[in-house]
Amino acid sequence: MSKKIIYGLFDDEEVLLKSAKQLVKSGVYIRDVFSPFPIHGIDPVIGVPRTNLHIAGFIYGALGLATAWAMIWGLLIIDWPMNIGGKPNFTFWENLPAFIPISFELTVFCSAHGMAITYLIVNKLYPGQEPYNPDPRTTDDKFMMQINLEDTSVAEGEVKEMLQSGGAIEITEKEV
Amino acid sequence: MNYTMTKGTRNLLLVFIVLGVLALVYGMFMVDSQRVWANLLVNGLYFTFLALAGTFFVAVQYAGEAGWSAGLKRIPEAMGMYLPIGGVVLLIVFGAAVTHQNHLYHWMDGFLKEKTVTVSELKEYEEGLKAHHGGGHDAHATEEHDDGHGDGHGHEDSPKYGASHGFAGEMAEYKTTRPEYYAEEYAALPDEESIENPHYDHLLDGKSGFLNVPFFIGAALIYLLGWIFFALRFRKLSLEDQVGDQKKWFIKMRNLGAWFLVFFAVTSSTSAWHWVMSIDPHWFSTLFGWYIFAGLFVSGLSAIIVFLAILKFQGLMGHVNENHLHDLGKFMFAFSIFWTYLWFSQYMLIWYANIPEEVTYFQDRWENYHFLWIFNLFINFIFPFLVLMTRDAKRSAGTLLFVGCILIVGHWIDVFLMVMPGTVKGDWGFGFLEIGLFLGFVGLFGWTTLRAISKAPLVAQTHPFLDEAAHHHV
């Protein structure tokens, strides 16, 4: 098992996609693909699982709703009973229409911020994080495929050959 | 690839239509005529709006140069073919209202707008009222003088509400004690004597610039003829073979779509004011047009999805896959929330401000339609919100068909709740008449649409965006 990493550089995302499909078919595991923009249809090819962010969003939203209702109930019903709209009933449910906007705002606020922050943390996009993009050209007009030889049983030469025939314009390697 | 109506579908729709006719006949002989007319208005409005939503969908897709929907445009196009039938139903109801065959529109009673009348005119008018309503329940007085029918709970027997109902509660009591007939007070005067009309309604008189019969009928004709013109034009141009001239053809369609949207933006609001909001003529809501539009679009999308699912379960429409379903599902989900947003905006401001002439609108519904009124929110908001939240639900034809069917009924209930309180007040029912007539119109609408679908190839082979639609991926 070698600790070698092979990078294949492409100048067209369609060519990369085709090559990736072929590599995966032959049993090569592609660690990642670096691209200046999202490549349509690459996720299922290189085995990126579907995100669970929406579940986190739902939980954050529910937390936001609970926060809003706890706050309203504590402040406007228990601590300082409020006469809302000339209807002095001092109950939560009978005043509910007046509380819906706040409930909505806090649900959306917590859901949106929670999801954004979770996304940044999960993708290691916080201050002080070293960039791990192997080649700055992939932020401009090139596309790069990363293959860790430890992930795959296919021989190094074979992988390189497949990349070459798949249309890679440059193949580099790195020892870790 | 063409669709042909299967025997099962045909028989089911025929049974629905027969049920509708039976319900109408039953209603004519067994039920109060006002309730039959009100039901015709509910169904006339609802299914016309459903068809209009199809034309609106087509127009939006062209005007937005959308590619994803190119493969399914035959369905909304065909829905627009119901517009002439819906228009005829509405015109029959309106014609009967104008000629006082029914009393759906309180403001059409010209006597209420006369400041001074003679004693004999007053006598004659009140005789007419008594003859119509047996002196008991006064349907003309939907808001002005409540005779206490279906009332009496809500204010008195709930001490907690005593103070909280405040002004609105006092107004309701005041109305119940006001006399309904005045002729006796003027009995001593000679018949030709001019007197101040005790029935004079300054609000209706003030609104008579908009709410008058010639304008009402003229506008209704303009709305209906305009919509029918666009629906037929979309359909005709869409069926044209435009080989070699696709770009020119598409620009023509885009312009037609844009013009329709301009026309629709105005007429969807004004028709909602004319036909629906004026049922409760003392009440108004500035967002009523959008509220109607939101309901119209959700129910229209539901109908598109239902037709699509019917075709898919017959093994047709293979080019429409779960990606297209996903987009339709997202549309349905989003506009259900939009409908709720408008419903709530309208309700909350009126609830909060508690102004008598506004709050009576909801008081009627709260007291006489309590269950339906709350059920409306559950079926049209909570249900689609929870069921359609996940991605998988929006990508499954079965789930969408289920939600679509429920929403079609849900928004019918919404229209029912807009029309009934102002026309029959507490005298509503939910029996064979309502269910049968609804099913009858479902049959008529389904029959018209499926027949139109079967008349043209399902795929518009020369549509320039067909290839884009095939590659649609979300």
- Domain range for A88 is 53-122
Residues A24 and A159 sit within 8 Å (Cβ to Cβ): no
Across the interface, do B354 and A41 touch by the CB < 8 Å criterion?
no
In tens, the pLDDT along B246-283 reads 888 999 999 999 999 999 999 999 999 999 999 999 99
> Any residues with CB less than 8 A from the CB of B438 and at least 6 apart, and which?
B20, B43, B412
Report the pLDDT value the prediction gives residue B79, as an integer from 0 to 100.
Answer: 96
Report the pLDDT value the prediction gives residue B177, as an integer from 0 to 100.
Answer: 40
Query: What is the average pLDDT value for chain B, to the nearest integer?
Result: 87
Say yes or no: A16 and A59 in one domain: no
Identify the helix (H) or strand (E) that includes residue A5.
Answer: strand A4-10
Q: Which of A146, A151, A150 is nearest to A173 (CA)?
A: A146
Could you give the number of structural domains in chain A? 2
Across the interface, do A87 and B166 touch by the CB < 8 Å criterion?
yes
Confidence of residue B192 (pLDDT cuts 50, 70, 90): confident
Say yes or no: A110 and A140 in one domain: no
* Least-confidence region, from A132-136, B35-39, B77-81, B215-219: A132-136
Say yes or no: A46 and A59 in one domain: no
Closest CB to B352 among A40, A58, A98: A98
Alpha-carbon span B268 to B279, nearest angstrom: 16
Report the pLDDT value the prediction gives residue B359, as an integer from 0 to 100.
Answer: 92
Residues B136 and B147 sit within 8 Å (Cβ to Cβ): yes
Looking at the complex, report in whole angstroms how far the Cα of residue B78 sits from the nearest Cα belonging to chain A: 34
Say yes or no: A37 and A70 in one domain: no
Confidence of residue B158 (pLDDT cuts 50, 70, 90): very low
Half-sphere CA count of A82, side-chain side, radius 13 A: 15
Alpha-carbon span B170 to A106, nearest angstrom: 37
Interface test with chain A among B164, B337, B340, B385, by most A beta carbons within 10 Å:
B164
Report the pLDDT value the prediction gives residue B196, as an integer from 0 to 100.
Answer: 87
Tokens 């993009």 correspond to what residue? A133
Instruction: Report yes or no on A129 lying in a domain.
Output: no
Q: Is the pTM of this model over 0.90?
A: no
Identify the helix (H) or strand (E) that includes residue A6.
Answer: strand A4-10
Alpha-carbon span B383 to B48, nearest angstrom: 25
Report the pLDDT value the prediction gives residue A155, as an integer from 0 to 100.
Answer: 86
Tell me which chain B residues have a C-beta less than 8 angstroms from the C-beta of A98. 348, 352
Over residues B415-421, the mean pLDDT reads 94
Question: Is pLDDT above 50 for B180?
Answer: yes
Say yes or no: A114 and A156 in one domain: no
**CA distances, B76 to each of B297, B309, B327, B375, B466 (Å):** 12, 13, 15, 29, 16
Instruction: Report yes or no on A42 lying in a domain.
Output: yes
Interface of B to A at Cβ within 8 Å reads: 160-161, 163-164, 166, 344, 347-348, 351-354, 389-391, 473
Contact of A97 with chain B, judged by CB distance below 8 Å, is answered with: yes
Residues B322 and B68 sit within 8 Å (Cβ to Cβ): no
Instruction: Report yes or no on A110 lying in a domain.
Output: yes
Over residues B445-466, the mean pLDDT reads 91
Percent of chain A with pLDDT over 90: 59
Instruction: Report yes or no on A130 lying in a domain.
Output: no
The CATH number assigned to the domain holding A166 equals 3.30.70
Say yes or no: A17 and A41 in one domain: yes
In tens, the pLDDT along B285-318 reads 999 999 999 999 999 999 999 999 999 998 888 8
Kindly calculate the radius of gyration of chain B based on its CA atoms and give it in whole angstroms.
Answer: 24
Question: Is pLDDT above 60 for B154?
Answer: no
Instruction: Report yes or no on A127 lying in a domain.
Output: no
Residues B391 and B289 sit within 8 Å (Cβ to Cβ): no
Interface test with chain A among B348, B350, B395, by most A beta carbons within 10 Å:
B348
Report the pLDDT value the prediction gives residue B166, as an integer from 0 to 100.
Answer: 47
Contact of A87 with chain B, judged by CB distance below 8 Å, is answered with: yes
Confidence of residue B445 (pLDDT cuts 50, 70, 90): very high
Question: Is pLDDT above 60 for B179?
Answer: no
Confidence of residue B40 (pLDDT cuts 50, 70, 90): very high
In tens, the pLDDT along B314-344 reads 888 888 999 999 999 999 999 999 999 999 9
Burial of B185-194, coded b for 16+ CB within 10 Å and e otherwise, reads ebeeeeeeee
* Least-confidence region, from B164-178, B181-195, B444-458: B164-178
In tens, the pLDDT along A9-45 reads 999 989 999 999 999 998 899 989 999 999 988 888 9
**CA distances, A125 to each of A117, A119, A132, B277 (Å):** 9, 8, 11, 53
Report the pLDDT value the prediction gives residue B386, as an integer from 0 to 100.
Answer: 93
Question: Is pLDDT above 90 for B444?
Answer: yes
Number of residues in chain A: 176
Alpha-carbon span A45 to A56, nearest angstrom: 25
Say yes or no: A28 and A60 in one domain: no
Tell me which chain B residues have a C-beta less than 8 angstroms from the C-beta of A38. none
Instruction: Report yes or no on A97 lying in a domain.
Output: yes
